Amino acid sequence: MYRIYDCLAHQHDIVLVLVALLIGLAGIHTAFNLYARACIGRLRQKIAWLFLTGVVTGGGIWATHFIAMLSYDPVVPVGYEPLLTAISLAIAIVTTTIGFAIASISGPHLVLSHLVLSRLVGGLVVGLGISAMHFTGMSAIRVPGIISWHMDIVIAAILMGALFGMASLYLAKTAQTDQQKLLGKANLTIAVATMHFGAMGALVITPDPTVPVPAQLISQEYLAVGVAVVAIGLIAIGFVTALVDRQLRDHVSNRMRILGDSAIEALVLTQNGRVIDANDSFLKLGGVTRAEILDQDFLTEWLSDTPAEFKSGKVGYAETTLSWSNNTAIPVEVVRREIPADEISDATVIFGLRDLRERYAAENHIRFLAERDALTKLLNRSTFNDRLAEALTQSDETGIPLTVMCIDFDHFKELNDSFGHIAGDHALRELGERLAELFSDNVVIARVGGDEFVALLSHPEQSDMDNVIARSRETAQQILDCVALPVFINAEHRAKLSASIGIAHYPTDGNDAESILFHADLAMYRVKQSGGNDIVFYSSEMDEEYRFKRQLSSNLRHAMENGQLELHYQPQCETDGNDQVIHSFEALLRWTDPELGSIPPGRFIPIAEETGLIVPLGEWVLRTACKEAARWKNPLGIGVNLSAVQLQKHELPELVAEILNETGLDPKRLELEVTETALIHNPARSMKILSDIKKLGVRIAMDDFGTGYSSLATLQNFPVDRIKIDQSFIKKLVSNDQAIAIVRAVINLSRDLNLEVIAEGVETDEQASFLNDHDCRSVQGYKYGYPKPISDYAHVVNPTEFPETTANRDSGIETV
């Protein structure tokens, strides 16, 4: 090291050394710009650019060497043999051309190890070429003396030149970024400097006047001029060529970049699989800078999950994940397009990418809306059915039973009627949230319509039915407790609900989804019929009852179509002591089925209400009764019962008016009987309908008075003409003090309100005597006549046809 330092410090002109280094830097700078261009051209253009790279690099290094030689003072006169000097220039150009050519080898068929090897080998050739050029140039020196070398320093210099030469092209890669170029230039400059000055330190010149010096030598003055001309010319040619080419490429690149940045989609350009450019949309998408992605293997480092067919180019579209080193993953759709190679550049692949996060989010939202109930965010009917089908299949495979629960909220309609549908929706939403939070992964719950919910309970690793039933009951009780918590309606009101839950098990209670749901629903309706707020497990008796109801419903429909229904009439009398006069009849529906025999109204009327048959059935009764009464010569009144379902029909007043007009019945003779329970389902609607009927001249009677929820409020608010005391109170007269008090109070209340009153179900003389004593003259019951066909009361309704009977003087009971 000391010899090298002593040689550089005391035997060289520092100014010329700096000039040599500047010439070398200029040449190497220009060379790497040319090399960068050579790495992206087609083969023919690549060869041309590589040759120009070698000429500029070799010429620059050669010029650096000989300018540095001119700065060296060996004490003795120095000359240079022309041929060897020229050969050294040729060696520099050839070896650097070959080295850069080897390093530029690339392509999709080369793996990373092959690329690294080509760059290392190329750098080694350049490094060794520097050494070959140097020692060939040194051998051209002619001095009157003997030249010798310190071989250890020579070997070290050659190794240093080779190592830094390898490092320069390895680190430079394809020289597409400023960083790559800077690393390549710095290491190659170090290679040239260490090689030259190391070798100069190993040089020993021993003066010897006897050594002959040829006359045909190049003097140092001429060498200086020649080297300067060669160096400046080669560097200028390379620089200008690279500058013009770069400007052209930059112009084209800028136009393409402007076009690319105008695109909403992310665009990435690659050559030989390496990124050469990307637009702003991609940089924003990836959160990177352009410098960070240049020369990366795009498919390997950014689209590693892409299908092999897309990577190979067999398909041009894929949906995949864009991911990189910061562990961020973005779903994208990618389109691949090939641009063939031209005179300017290699074949280029453009990747167009679109961020799919918004689309996936929209699809997930659509899927959520399709699978979920909009109000409660629970599963909807369709999705629940799919889950149930999957669970049944799994149950068949594992043998583990399933539980299905049908859940219905009790008196939810009253909540809607009292507070409005908005409050009802709020209650359903809150209950849905509670149930969703209550259940684990083993329970699936869905809203299937209105206030109806279903739950699917699985029993992992549990096949014992006793344990299954116990767990089902426990879960159902949790639901009841959850529903029982008050629901916020508004600042003044909280609603407390209850639920009816029917439970069925698979496979014991059904062999498919339809049957298991149906049986759970049957069990739920059994709870509703029993008052609600309870849990009932399905049993086979429920199925038998359902089949009977279904048969009854079918037979009832058939009876309506085939005239199997008839009306019986029960007299309503006015009494005064021992005399009684029939003033009206109540029309009562009777049905005798050919298969089942006589069926009481209490059995088939509820079924008609459940199935919707009550509307046409009620119209038939009203029309038939009015038509019959219109034929009577004795203008007695006719009473017809209205069901709660009929009373909610807006068109009821128009129907009554139509029937009256059609039959010609005097409206004052018609009395429509309604119950308190029917009125409170929708009080506002009931008030409007009854008021419209009242305007027709029709009388309104309140049936079963005293058994409802708000009797006094009903009397005050509704247009009632007559009160009918329910027969349950009449039956308890004489023996029950409370019944006596209630009947007496109703009679007095009616008198004070100027309303008529009639007692139903009078059967005994004691009952009749009590009512007569308390001034209740209007009565109805078996004591005064059984419900019979109107033909049995022909002497009453048509007295002129029976002159021997004075029906209006007495009741005519003797014929009943």
Tokens encoding 184 = 């390549």
pLDDT at position 736: 85
Tokens encoding 649 = 């029909």
β-pairing, 499-506 vs 402-409, is antiparallel
Using an 8 Å Cβ cutoff, are 796 and 636 in contact? yes
Say what percent of the chain tops pLDDT 70: 81
Q: Assess whether pLDDT exceeds 90 at residue 1.
A: no
pLDDT at position 606: 84
β-pairing, 266-271 vs 274-278, is antiparallel
pLDDT at position 189: 85
Summarised one tens digit per residue, pLDDT across range 33-63 is 778 877 776 667 778 778 888 888 887 787 7
CA pseudo-torsion sign 417, 421, 422, 428: positive
What is the number of H-type helices and E-type strands within the chain? 30, 25
Q: Assess whether pLDDT exceeds 60 at residue 213.
A: no
Confidence label for 814 from pLDDT (cuts 50, 70 and 90): very low
Distance CA 229, CA 234 (A): 8
Q: Assess whether pLDDT exceeds 60 at residue 343.
A: no
Q: Which of 169-178, 219-228, 270-279, 704-713 has the lowest mean pLDDT?
A: 219-228
Confidence label for 11 from pLDDT (cuts 50, 70 and 90): low
Q: Assess whether pLDDT exceeds 60 at residue 647.
A: yes
Higher pLDDT, residue 665 or 678: 665
* Nearest CA among 614, 663, 612, 667 for reference residue 641: 614
Average pLDDT, the chain: 81
Q: Assess whether pLDDT exceeds 50 at residue 813.
A: no
* Nearest CA among 320, 241, 254, 221 for reference residue 50: 241
- Provide the 10 A C-beta neighbour count for residue 51: 16
All domains of the chain in start order, with CATH: 2-245 (no CATH), 263-361 (3.30.450.20), 372-538 (3.30.70.270), 550-815 (3.20.20.450)
Rg over alpha carbons for the chain, rounded to the nearest Å, is: 55
Confidence label for 270 from pLDDT (cuts 50, 70 and 90): confident
The residue ranges of DSSP E strands in 294-450, in sequence order, are: 317-323, 329-339, 348-355, 402-409, 443-449
Within 8 A by CB and 6+ apart from 155, the residues are none
Confidence label for 812 from pLDDT (cuts 50, 70 and 90): very low
pLDDT at position 808: 44
Concatenated DSSP letters for 598-634? EE-HHHHHHHHHHHTTHHHHHHHHHHHHHHHHHT-SS
Burial label for 529, CB within 10 Å (0-12, 13-18, 19+), is exposed
pLDDT at position 623: 94
Q: Which amino acid is at 696?
A: L
Q: Assess whether pLDDT exceeds 80 at residue 2.
A: no
Burial label for 491, CB within 10 Å (0-12, 13-18, 19+), is exposed
Say what percent of the chain tops pLDDT 90: 18
Distance CA 151, CA 297 (A): 45
Q: Assess whether pLDDT exceeds 90 at residue 554.
A: no
Give start and end residues of each alpha helix (H) in 71-111: 82-103
Chain centroid to Cα 709, Å, comes to 48
Percent of the chain as helix, strand, coil, to the nearest 5? 55, 20, 25
Backbone φ and ψ for 462, nearest 5 degrees, come out as: -130, 115
pLDDT at position 758: 93
Distance CA 235, CA 239 (A): 6
Confidence label for 791 from pLDDT (cuts 50, 70 and 90): very high
Confidence label for 398 from pLDDT (cuts 50, 70 and 90): confident
Using an 8 Å Cβ cutoff, are 351 and 267 in contact? yes
Higher pLDDT, residue 562 or 231: 562
CA angle in degrees (0–180, nearest 5) for 689-691-696? 100
pLDDT at position 526: 86
Q: Which of 15-24, 481-490, 525-534 has the lowest mean pLDDT?
A: 15-24
pLDDT at position 567: 95
The Cβ-side half-sphere exposure at 6, using a 13 Å CA radius, reads 8
